[in-house]
Structure 1
Amino acid sequence: MSSDRSVIVDSLGVGFATGVYGVSFGTIATASGLSVVQACAMSLAVFTGASQFAFVSVVAAGGAPLAGAVTAILLGSRNLFYGLSLSPHLQLRGAAKAAAAHIVIDESTAMAVTRETSLQARLGFYWTGWSIFILWNLSTFLGALAGNAIGDPRAYGLDAAVGAAFLGLLWPRLNSMSMRLIAVVAAAVAFGLIPFTAAGVPIILGGAIAVALGLAWQKKAA
């Protein structure tokens, strides 16, 4: 029982630390041109920070919303692999599996797959996932109100803050040499394409390269 309680406490700690970061997304999203409703709807429906920041960064740079959406989808594709790794731990079926899919993110996956029992895995997954979901959306709303009041993001340097916030989410995931190498290659491709392509396209192609390299690396390791 005490170990189960410890899982819940740890999960809530992760949930709070991650969820409040939604303030930065809400602020940057509305300061970059999205409405409060659009920013909040994205956090409710998409609910994956890296993809949300990627979309906003493309739109803020003058790219088409479709280019931002493709970039977000590419980054969100990693959650498919998280779902495969979670399946044997959570042992869900039907509607429960469909509902759980919405909170399959980096943090909820990490808090589940390291547990010794299925019960602890479910505790870690649900307490982390839903606490982040609730706090992220509340924080997005508060940040969106603030960003809406700020106005032009360039007057405060918030156009640069989009990239900084995205990097802040990405950096902790680069916890192995293979991930760092993939990130460097993808970044090099994106930077090299900037002078020759429309806004948003370098991120899409760089993200596609990262996904392809990640799949190839995973297959080779297996």
Structure 2
Amino acid sequence: MTRSSAERTAIRSGLAVGIATAVYGISFGALSVASGLDIWQTCFLSLVMFTGGSQFALVGILATGGAAAGFTGIATAALLGLRNVIYGMRMAPIVGTGPWWRRAISAWGTIDESVAVAIAQPTRPLARLGFSVTAVTVFVGWNITTFVGALIGDAIGDPRAWGLDAAAAAAFLGLLWPRLKRLQASVVAVAAAVVATVLTPVLMPGLPVLVAAIVAVVVGAFNWLGRRDDS
């Protein structure tokens, strides 16, 4: 593969992933308005937080528990956002040591999708290109579709009546599924799911997710089943 064709491939990958991810912003915008935030609060959240998993978690908990669940929602969103710190450590050699403002922008764009596209590239320059294209595409698209979704949510009322709440679960499953290629990862996912399911009826909204995350960290850290493939 020539350099130009490799660059085109990286750009296409970034655009494809970015556009596909941005579509979920419609669901987030609608759900956020349904949870009690107004249109501008919803848009500000996407602009500043810009991490879909944490955003969905926050508005999901607010929707089920109201203001009383605010602390739990923030804690859950922060816990999910910690993965971006690990991503940042992985991306530091790729992004490089340029001016502080460039590194700050890169940190803002360090999300699941941009990192996934970057590490799939064969060389560092291509990884940097894929990362940048994906981050910009997701950021622009996510904020536009968040606004559109918020307008829709404000117009139709409760988006659950239209099934839009299922999009959040579908988004999480889509991110999780490719990571379940190893037996250990599958066990971690099952353990966390069981804990969250059992605790949901007895704990306040958001706490089951926090407990399940702790269980997942413990099970994953000990790596009891080794690095064998599930095949």
Normalised by the length of structure 1, the TM-score is 0.88
Is the contact made by 2:24 and 2:168 (CA closer than 8 Å) also made in structure 1?
no
Is the contact between residue 39 and residue 151 of structure 2 (CA under 8 Å) also seen in structure 1?
yes
Look up the SS of the partner of 1:140 in the other structure: helix
Give the distance between the partners of 1:9 and 1:163, measured in 2 at CA. Answer: 25
State percent identity of aligned pairs. 43
Corresponding residue of 1:31: 34
1:3 positional shift: 1.6
| Alignment correspondent of 2:47 | 44
| Long gaps (5+) in structure 2 | none
Match runs of 1:97-108 below 5 Å: 97-108=103-114
Whole-angstrom distance in 2 between the partners of 1:110 and 1:166: 15
Distance (whole Å) between structure 2 residues aligned to residue 162 and residue 54 of structure 1: 13
SS of the residue 2:109 aligns to: coil
Structure 2 residue aligned with 1:82: 87
Q: Distance in 2 between matches of 1:195 and 1:15?
A: 36
Q: Is the 8 A contact 2:34 2:63 kept in 1?
A: no
1:172 aligns with 2:177: yes
1:69 aligns with 2:77: no
Question: Where does residue 23 of structure 2 map in the other structure?
Answer: 20
Question: How far apart, in 2, do the equivalents of 1:67 and 1:73 lie?
Answer: 10
RMSD (CA atoms)? 2.3
Aligned partner of 2:70: which letter? P
For residue 45 of structure 1, report the CA deviation from its aligned partner: 1.2
Match of 1:53 in 2: 56
Q: CA deviation at 1:216?
A: 4.1
Identify the range of structure 1 (160-169 vs 170-179) with the bigger mean alpha-carbon deviation: 160-169
Q: CA deviation at 1:13?
A: 1.4
1:48-82, Cα deviation, whole Å (9 max, x unpaired): 11111111111111151111111111111111111
Partner AA of 1:140 in structure 2: T
What is the aligned residue count?
A: 219
Separation of aligned partners in 1, 2:205 and 2:196:
11
Deviation of residue 89 (structure 1)? 2.1
Amino acid in structure 2 at the alignment position of 1:40: C
The 5 A counterparts of 1:1-222 are 1-62=4-65, 64-93=69-98, 94-153=100-159, 155-156=161-162, 161=166, 164-165=169-170, 167-176=172-181, 177-217=183-223
TM-score, normalised on structure 2?
A: 0.84
Q: Single out whichever of 127-136 and 107-116 deviates more from structure 2.
A: 107-116
Superposition deviation, residue 164 in structure 1: 2.9
Contact kept, 8 Å, 2:30 with 2:150, in 1: the verdict is yes
| Structure 1, unpaired ranges of 5+ | none
Amino acid at match of 1:147: G
Give me the whole-angstrom Cα distance separating, in 2, the residues matched to 1:9 and 1:153: 32
| 1:113 to partner: Cα distance | 1.6
